[in-house]
Amino acid sequence: MASTNQCVASMARLNLSYSTRRPAISTIPNFLLPSVATPQIRHASGSGGGGMRKRPEKPKKQYKLFRSYDQSEQQKFSLCDAMRYLRAFEVGKPPSGAKYEVHVKLRTEKAGPVVRNRIRFPYPVSSDTRIAVICPEDSPVAAEALQLGAVVAGQESLFESIKNGHFAFNKLICHTESEDALKKANVGKLLGPKGLMPNKRHGTITSDLKKTINDMVGTDEYRERNGVVQLAIGQLGFTPQMVADNLKVVMERMKKDMDAIVDNGHTKHLDEVVLSSTHGPSFSLNGKFNPTEDNVTVEQLQSTM
């Protein structure tokens, strides 16, 4: 018969073996199982930090030409109809207080040459022409400029006025004697956006002040910006025939400018012509003149303008 000490040792061995033996997981209720966190996988990013790797962005499509749209279903108007509707929006405005404006949209290259020129209308639109002349201070050239009708003539004083944002003029000429001074003055960033920077190619840097000033009086300048040429072609009191004559001159001059650019290997074509007014909406023109309604005549429109 086993002794008491042997029985105690046998019981100790049984308890130890039972405690070290792990029961099957399938026999343990779920709520008693320890929760195990799912390991997070971290990917190296391009910047060296953590987080998910970003997908490379697709490059945006680059357009060589300014974008144009299908106009096959767009409603278009004759010149008389467009002017009649615009006149309704300008009721109560003085005849010289509002203007008809033409917006010519071109099919052209973004980085190509722009259309820019000076034009003389059969019926002048601008009645307020203020010319300034850059020339040596208190010189015979300055005296001549003032005698020809310039509102201001000078060099350093004129540069200082421009830098301070005081523009008492809407047209600017530079005499050839002050061309170097103009370059050193660094005022191009102030004059350029306003279309006032003198340029030899456009005849605003000259030694013949008399001819240049006479050409400027009664003329208007136009310049293409972002594929569009915008220009006032008539006062509110103009008749449809007067606006038509001014518009014809604009389109003929612009077509010659575009043909010269196309001949040099660039793209430049007419896309759309739109007529608007100072306070009115815009109407796309179809190239016709007469009103479309049978009960409205051109003579009636002439008498109401």
pLDDT tens digit string along 184-234?
Answer: 998 989 998 888 899 888 888 999 988 888 888 778 889 999 999 999 999
Tell me the residue type at 28.
I
Ordered by start, the domain boundaries in the chain are 2-43, 79-125+219-302, 131-216
State the average pLDDT over residues 158-183.
90
Measured distance CA(193)–CA(225) in Å, rounded: 10
- CATH code for the domain defined by 79-125+219-302: 3.30.190.20
Structure tokens at 78: 């004759």
pLDDT > 70: percent of the chain: 80
Domain 131-216 has what CATH class? alpha beta
State the average pLDDT over residues 4-15.
58
Q: Given pLDDT bands bounded at 50, 70 and 90, which one contains residue 272? A: very high
The most confident of the ranges 51-55, 123-127, 219-223, 287-291 is 287-291
Express each pLDDT in 85-95 by its tens digit. Answer: 999 999 888 87
- Residues in Cβ contact with 183 at an 8 Å cutoff, skipping those fewer than 6 apart: none
Q: Which ranges in the chain belong to alpha helices (H)?
A: 4-20, 79-89, 140-147, 156-163, 179-185, 188-191, 209-216, 240-263, 298-304
The answer to whether residue 29 scores a pLDDT higher than 60 is no
Structure tokens at 19: 């405690």
Q: What is the pTM of this model?
A: 0.65
Measured distance CA(209)–CA(214) in Å, rounded: 8
> 157 with 142: CB under 8 angstroms?
no
For 149, other C-beta atoms within 10 Å of its C-beta total 13
Measured distance CA(20)–CA(15) in Å, rounded: 9
The most confident of the ranges 40-49, 185-194, 250-259, 260-269 is 250-259
The answer to whether residue 44 scores a pLDDT higher than 70 is no
> 165 with 149: CB under 8 angstroms?
no
The answer to whether residue 281 scores a pLDDT higher than 90 is yes
Measured distance CA(224)–CA(280) in Å, rounded: 22
